[in-house]
Structure 1
C-alpha cells in the first residue's frame, strides 16, 4: 500500500500534508475537481448582477477575484479544502429583490453586503454565530433553502421565456416553439443526465454546449474565448452608504446576513464532515474558517459582487481526496486564471444559464424532506416560507412570513415557551418593519 510521500519545505509547514495523510498530487487534483464543479459561477453571477445595470465585465473580474481571495484565506489561514465564491440565491436576491424589486441602486446594495460582512466578523469573534444558527428551528432552515431553490428556478424559467406574464392568471406558460426555450430545456436535461452519471462539471458543460448551439442558430454571438482582462473600475469601491440606514435597507442587511449565516455554516460543517475533519462533532479552527468567510464577503462587496460564501461543491474535491487548504489554494489560482476568459463569459446568453438556475433549485429544495410535515405547527411556517419566496418574488418576505407565522402558531397552540428567543426577536422586527414601513 502506497503511503503519502514525505513533503518538505513551505507546503508541508503550511498545509501539514503528511499529518492529513495526503499528497501534493492529490491536493492539486482535488482542487481541479472542485473548480470544475463550481466554475459556472463566473458565467452565471455576472449575468445575474448585470441585470441591475452593473458592468458585466467588471462583475466578472470581481467574481473571479472575490472567489480567489476567499479560497486563499480559507486555504492559507484555516487549512480547509473548502472553496468560496459569490453565492447563488444571494446574488438573485441582490439583483431581483433588492435592486429591481425595491429599486435600490446597486451601489447601495453593495454597501449592504459590505455591512453584513462586518457583522459576520463581529459575531464570529464573539462566538455568537453558532448560538444564532442553533436557535433557529430546523424546519425554517430547510424551508429557507427550499424557498430560495424555487426562487432561482422561477428566475431561470422567466429568463428563458418559459414562464411569462399573463393578465388573467398572473403567470403562464411561455412558447415551447421558440428556440431559446427549447435550448433551455435541452440544457436542463443535459445537466440532469450528466449529474446522474456523476460527470464532474455537468453545469459548466451544459452552459458551454447551449451557448455553442445558440451561436450556431444565430441567437447569440461568441465574442471570443481569451482576451484582455476587463476593467474592474466600474464596480470597485463603488459602495454607497448614504441611503443604507433606512428601515428597508436594515431589513436587506438582515436577509443577507441570515441567509449567508445558514448557508455558510451548514456548508462548512457538511464538507468538513465529508472529509472526516470533525473532532467530537465540532470543527477545529472554526474561528479561522469563519474569518475566511467573513473577509470574503467584505472583499467581494468592495470589488463589486454580492455575498461570497463557501460552496457545497467543495465536497467533490473532498471526494477526490482533498484534505487540506492546498485544495482551496489551487481553486484560487484557477479562478485567477479565468480572468483572461472574459470574452467567453460575456458571450453566454441568459437561456444558457437558465438551466443552471433551475438545476440548482432542484438541489436546494431537496432539504424540505427533512421538515416535520406531520407536525402542523412546523409544517405551516415552513410552507409559508417556501411559497412566499417565489410568489412574492422576495426571499426577504418568505423569511418574514416563516418567522412570524412560526411564533404566532406556537403561541396560540400553547407552545409559546418552546419558541427560541431569537425567533421571537426576528419575528417582532419583521412585524415592526411591515407595520411601520409597509411602503
Structure 2
C-alpha cells in the first residue's frame, strides 16, 4: 500500500526510513505545541483550546502535504507569524484575537485561489538557481542558530555605540557550562559519532539520549508529566470566532498583506531550500508537485483559522527528517500521526526539552550547507545576491528577509551591469513587490 501511494522504490527509500524520518521531524518541531498556546494566550485566547487547534492544524496541513504532494515536509502554525498575531495585531495595534483570526482566514482563502491560479508556483520558478542553493544554506545557518540559542550555547548580547547609546543585538557565546548547554553539546557529539559510523536514525537517537541525560541535570523535567485524562482540551472557546466588522479597514489590509508576504516567502524558501538539500529539485530547479505543496499550507491556514490558531506554514525543521533519509509523503504522514497522538499524550511528548532537540537542528544545519558547492562564485552578479540571501537569514532571523535581499540585489546587479536580459520578467516583478513591502509594510 505504501509503495503504491508514495512510490518508495522510485525515491530510493524504505518504510522504516520514512517513518523514522517523520518521527524525527516531529521531535524537532514539537516545541510549537508548547510555544504557540503560550504565545496566543497573551491575547486572551484559551491556552488549552489553542493547544488542540495547533495539533489539529498540523495534522490536517501535513496530511494534505503527504497525500497531495508526496513530499517529506510537515506543517504547523508558524513561528514569527504567531508573534505578529499576538504582539503586533493584538498588542501594539490593539485589535481583538477574533480580528486577527479573521485576517488569517482571509489569507488562507486568498492563498487557495493563488495556488489554483499557479501564481505561487510561478514565484518559486522565478527565483534564480544560485539563489535557490543559497536559500538552502541560509536556512541551515538559521536553524543552527535557533538550536544553539535554545540550548544556551549562544545568546544575544547588547552592545553600546557612541556616547553610551544602546546599539543592536549581536550573537555571543552563552553559558556553555550550564546544564542545558552541556546536554546539547553531548547530543551534538553523540549524533556526530553515530553519523560517522553510519548509524541509521542517528539524529533521533541523539534526541532521545539527550532527553535521558537531561534527567539528572534537571534539564528534563519529569515532574511536568501530569495526566488530566486523555481527551484533548475543547476547541469551543475559539472555534469559528471571527470578527468581520473591520475587514475593509486600512489596518486589515496592512495586517493581511503582512501575513501574505511573510507566509508566502517563508514557505517558498523552506520548500526550495529543503528540496535542494534532499535532491528533489528537477533540472530546471523546480520543486516537484509545488502546486500541491503550496495548497497544503493554504488549506492548513484556512482550517487553522476556523479552529482558532495563527497561520500554518511549511516547517524548516522538516530538514531534520530529510537528513534522516525522508524523501516522500510517508515521512509527512508519520509526522502527522505523531501530532495526532500528541493530542492525547501531550505530557509525554512535551517532556523532551529544547536542549535535547537543539543538537538535531545544529546537525541538520550542517547537512544543509552542502548546496553551497553549487553556487557560482566566479560571477559576482550571481555570487553577491547568493551571499546576501544566505547570510541575511540568520542575521535577520527571517527566511523571508533573506529572500528579499537576494532577489532585489540580483535584479539590481543584473540591471547595472547591462545583463538585465538574464533575469526573467517575473523576477523583476518580485523585486518590485519586495521593495514595496520594505517601504510600506516593514
The CA deviation string for residues 323-377 of structure 1, in whole angstroms up to 9 with x for no partner, is xx77865664454233332112332333223223323333334333322121101
1:260 aligns with 2:267: yes
Whether the 8 Å CA contact 1:37–1:204 is kept in 2: the answer is: yes
Secondary structure of 2:78's partner?
A: helix
**Distance change >3 Å, CA 35–CA 64, structure 1 → 2:** farther
Partner residue in 1 for 2:36 = 49
- Which of 144, 147, 150 is matched with 1:153 structurally? 144
- Which of 351, 354, 358 is matched with 2:355 structurally? 351
Secondary structure of 1:167's partner?
A: strand
- Which of 293, 307, 314 is matched with 1:309 structurally? 314
Identify the range of structure 1 (371-380 vs 132-141) with the bigger mean alpha-carbon deviation.
Answer: 132-141
Secondary structure of 1:184's partner?
A: helix
Unaligned regions of 5+ residues in structure 1, if any? 1-10
Partner residue in 2 for 1:360 = 364
1:86 aligns with 2:75: yes
Whether the 8 Å CA contact 1:389–1:396 is kept in 2: the answer is: yes
1:208 aligns with 2:208: yes
- Over the aligned positions, Cα root-mean-square deviation in angstroms equals 4.4
Aligned residues: 411
**Distance change >3 Å, CA 109–CA 344, structure 1 → 2:** farther
Partner residue in 2 for 1:428 = 432
Partner residue in 1 for 2:165 = none
**Distance change >3 Å, CA 49–CA 182, structure 1 → 2:** same
Whether the 8 Å CA contact 2:22–2:331 is kept in 1: the answer is: no
The CA deviation string for residues 216-237 of structure 1, in whole angstroms up to 9 with x for no partner, is 2223421238762442637655
Q: After superposition, where does 1:27-426 map in structure 2 within 5 Å?
A: 29=16, 32-41=19-28, 43-49=30-36, 52-54=39-41, 61-74=52-65, 78=68, 81-86=70-75, 91-94=78-81, 107=97, 114-164=105-155, 165-167=157-159, 170-222=170-222, 223-224=224-225, 228-231=230-233, 233=235, 237=240, 245-247=252-254, 250-264=257-271, 291-292=295-296, 294-303=298-307, 304=309, 306-309=311-314, 311=318, 313=321, 332-426=336-430
Secondary structure of 1:406's partner?
A: helix
The CA deviation string for residues 279-298 of structure 1, in whole angstroms up to 9 with x for no partner, is x9999987666544542343
Deviation for aligned residue 1:134: 1.6
Whether the 8 Å CA contact 2:108–2:302 is kept in 1: the answer is: yes
Whether the 8 Å CA contact 1:113–1:256 is kept in 2: the answer is: no
Secondary structure of 1:175's partner?
A: coil
Task: Give the Cα separation in 2 of the matches to 1:316 and 1:177.
Answer: 29
The CA deviation string for residues 177-207 of structure 1, in whole angstroms up to 9 with x for no partner, is 2222111111222233334445444334333
Deviation for aligned residue 1:112: 6.0
Whether the 8 Å CA contact 2:266–2:400 is kept in 1: the answer is: no
Task: Give the Cα separation in 1 of the matches to 2:288 and 2:150.
Answer: 42
TM-score by length of 2: 0.74
TM-score by length of 1: 0.74
Partner residue in 1 for 2:163 = none
Whether the 8 Å CA contact 2:36–2:54 is kept in 1: the answer is: no
Unaligned regions of 5+ residues in structure 2, if any? 161-168
Deviation for aligned residue 1:380: 1.0
Deviation for aligned residue 1:137: 0.8
Whether the 8 Å CA contact 2:185–2:359 is kept in 1: the answer is: yes
**Distance change >3 Å, CA 273–CA 339, structure 1 → 2:** same
Secondary structure of 1:348's partner?
A: coil
**Distance change >3 Å, CA 163–CA 259, structure 1 → 2:** same
